[in-house]
Amino acid sequence: MAKKVTISDIAKMAGVSKSTVSRYLNNGYISEKKSAIISQLIRDTGFKSNFFASRLKTKYSRLIGIVLPRIDSYAVGQMLAGITQILNEQSYQAIIITSDLDHEKEIRAIHQFNEQGVDAIIVISIGITEKQIEIVHQYSTPIVFAGQYDKRLSCIKFNDKKAGSILGEYLRQKGFKTCVYLGVPDSDKAVGIERRNGFIKAFKNKVILIHTDFSFEQAYAQGDKIMSYTPSVVVGATDNIALGFLKYLHQNKINVPQKIALAGFGGYSMGEVSSPSLTSIFFNFKALGRKIAFFTFKRLSGETFSSYFEDDFKLLIREST
Amino acid sequence: MAKKVTISDIAKMAGVSKSTVSRYLNNGYISEKKSAIISQLIRDTGFKSNFFASRLKTKYSRLIGIVLPRIDSYAVGQMLAGITQILNEQSYQAIIITSDLDHEKEIRAIHQFNEQGVDAIIVISIGITEKQIEIVHQYSTPIVFAGQYDKRLSCIKFNDKKAGSILGEYLRQKGFKTCVYLGVPDSDKAVGIERRNGFIKAFKNKVILIHTDFSFEQAYAQGDKIMSYTPSVVVGATDNIALGFLKYLHQNKINVPQKIALAGFGGYSMGEVSSPSLTSIFFNFKALGRKIAFFTFKRLSGETFSSYFEDDFKLLIREST
DNA sequence: CTGTTAGCGCTTTCAA
DNA sequence: TTGAAAGCGCTAACAG
């Protein structure tokens, strides 16, 4: 079972001092002979340096705290996969707390990570508030925000405006004249405002704005209202929203794309298996996750605040347009 | 920035001993007066107990290591959401490593967690090997396996056999006579063997078995072969597999469910938005995640090995049958 | 109810 | 190149 082999035990057995063993473990300022014997002893006993004792002395933990709005979402899962991939490669580890889309919890999580002594914190944010900015400046731990932007913080996110404009441009060139855009509230600056503005500016023609939440159901429920504007194309701020409306179209036997075209943002696999498959802007969330990790390491190595906008997305033209 | 306020500082300021402050922080065996003054001081100074020092003394870290095959999957995301929900409620925290579906990495992760001194380990496994069993018995840290079963370990998973039989029973009663079952390799005991056997036993009629992997693409590619058996119903071992074949049916203008019926396992939202929507066995992965956490706490509180089979799934009858 | 006293296991000067 | 010694910040007997 749990063999309580400590550094002293090894030292005793090897006939050296604890410091020597410690040196072997760290810098390695040690003679060949002793090194060999210690090495052997460690192997035999199965000794493992006590994580907490070591962290108590040195200042860093090789732990990165990650605050997530929720974990059961495709985008978050992909990002997390990207982040942990890079973290693990560098022998860092992720420790996660979910905020459940609650600003207060997000803040509490940041406090908690600080208390735990993580080396850095990554916050996949649902919106940056003044209070958060205050907290970031009050702690010395590097904090990186992802998904949202504020110039006073270190942020990394997709260039939502550009994403919106790519889709807008494409649909304009396709000759669509009237669009209903299913947007989410402005409280989500990235998805709510930037994506939409980019789209509207590039589409140039008529856009009717209808607000909805992020759910499949609410988009479905707005079907009648949407159709009352007789749009030639409907765009959902996310694929999920677009698919909610697609369900309505199916049930009302309205043909896509013959009667009406449809597009979304996300490029989730769901949009690939629907019929018709959904035209969408694919965001490479996993790649973003990797960038987030790199960005965090930069901050860790002393680089100062700055922001980054990722352009790794592309237009997937599929059957729905 | 990082104010290095320690428990001694607080003690000095409050005119008490460190132990008293420590007691305030923990058991609270302390007078009202001192409690009040310490409480105030902590608030003022922004003192936070040093995580590592405290963990060095007590044996517990309140950290649970979780080994995942991959994070960017719906099922895993849901489970993780359920697990972390309960963990966080109990002030425990999740620390994750991904195994990337690699047995070696899974084992390394278990070792690593042990070295780090987590209180318990949860392994969402892709298949239990002899080597793993050996390791579990060599460590004293409680380890809980999820998703797979071996009687020598603490396991928790869905009752796949029963899930299979529910769908088999339903399709038999519906009057289908010939079924193609798209199965995955036997190396995944739960999904590959149990689910399939439960199905076959309950369906009673003719079942043609075709092997495929977990991907949408491979299921799609097997379309011609599947149709050559002229089945009246096709069942995918996962929804994803079923949807891959659905894509084939769409492209070949074969009507579902008029010409052929289709069903899967999973109950993912993808099967809800497809058209027709997919009949499926819904597994409540989030609920399973919560159970996993509870189960882990039981082991933590000294209960011994045992296994648990979750029945929280149900038949979703939708348009495809 | 509270203070004193020992460490937890490790790292890190400092001198040798 | 090595060892002695001094803690990191906290908790937990023990005695009062």
Contacts of A33 (CB under 8 A, 6+ apart): none
Residue pair B66/B83 in contact (Cβ under 8 Å)? The answer is: yes
Res. A161 pLDDT band, cuts 50 70 90? very high
Q: Which of A16-25, A95-104, A156-165 has the highest mean pLDDT?
A: A156-165
Q: Do A270 and B270 make contact, defined as CB atoms within 8 angstroms? A: yes
Q: What is the DSSP letter of B259?
A: T
Q: Do B52 and A49 make contact, defined as CB atoms within 8 angstroms? A: no
The answer, yes or no, to whether residue B223 has pLDDT greater than 80, is yes
Q: Which nucleotides of D are covered by protein (CB under 7 A)?
A: 1-13
User: Tokens in use for B24?
Assistant: 């305030």
Higher confidence at residue B304 or residue A86?
A86
Which residue is closest, via its CA, to the C1' of D11? Answer: B57
Q: Are strands B261-266 and B233-236 parallel, antiparallel or unpaired?
A: parallel
Helices marked H in A252-284: 270-273
**Rounded to whole angstroms, how far apart are CA atoms B67 and B61?**
17
**Rounded to whole angstroms, how far apart are CA atoms B205 and B179?**
8
Q: What's the mean pLDDT when you consider all of chain A?
A: 90
Residue pair B256/B320 in contact (Cβ under 8 Å)? The answer is: yes
Q: Select from B9, B92, B93 the least CA-distant residue to B47.
A: B9
User: Tokens in use for B82?
Assistant: 């359920």
Higher confidence at residue B37 or residue A27?
B37
pLDDT score for B32: 84
**Rounded to whole angstroms, how far apart are CA atoms B320 and B272?**
10
Higher confidence at residue A276 or residue B86?
B86
Minimal-distance CA residue of chain A relative to B83: A71
Res. A141 pLDDT band, cuts 50 70 90? confident
Question: What are the percentages of helix, strand and coil residues in chain A, rounded to 5?
Answer: 45, 20, 35
The letter for the amino acid at B95 is I
Residue B179 C-alpha, separation from nearest chain A C-alpha, in angstroms: 23
Res. A1 pLDDT band, cuts 50 70 90? very low
Rounded mean pLDDT of A114-127?
88
Q: What is the DSSP letter of A194?
A: I
State the Cα torsion A84-A87-A90-A92 to the nearest 10°: -110
Tens-place pLDDT, residues B233-266: 999 999 999 999 998 998 898 999 999 999 999 9
| C-alpha pair distances (Å), A229 with each of A225, B121, B173 | 7, 55, 46
Residue pair B93/A98 in contact (Cβ under 8 Å)? The answer is: no
Q: What's the mean pLDDT when you consider all of chain B?
A: 90
Q: Select from B253, B211, B256, B213 the least CA-distant residue to B231.
A: B256
**Rounded to whole angstroms, how far apart are CA atoms B295 and B156?**
8
Phi, psi at B288, each rounded to 5°:
-60, -40
The neighbour count for residue A42, using CB atoms within 10 Å, is: 20
State the Cα torsion A31-A32-A38-A41 to the nearest 10°: -160
Higher confidence at residue B114 or residue B312?
B312
Contacts of A130 (CB under 8 A, 6+ apart): none
pLDDT score for B245: 95
The neighbour count for residue A197, using CB atoms within 10 Å, is: 15
pLDDT over 70 for what percent of chain B? 99
Q: Are strands B120-124 and B63-68 parallel, antiparallel or unpaired?
A: parallel
Asked whether strand D has any atom less than 7 Å from the CB of B46, the reply is no
Asked whether strand D has any atom less than 7 Å from the CB of A17, the reply is yes
Nearest-5° Cα angle at A195, A189 to A198: 125
Tens-place pLDDT, residues B132-152: 899 888 888 899 999 999 999
Residue A274 C-alpha, separation from nearest chain B C-alpha, in angstroms: 5
pLDDT score for B1: 37
Q: Do A1 and B74 make contact, defined as CB atoms within 8 angstroms? A: no
Residues in chain A: 321
State which H helix or E strand residue A234 sits in.
strand A233-236
For chains A and B, count residue pairs whose Cβ atoms are closer than 8 Å: 131
User: Tokens in use for B4?
Assistant: 């290095």
Nearest-5° Cα angle at A152, A237 to A98: 55
pLDDT score for A140: 81
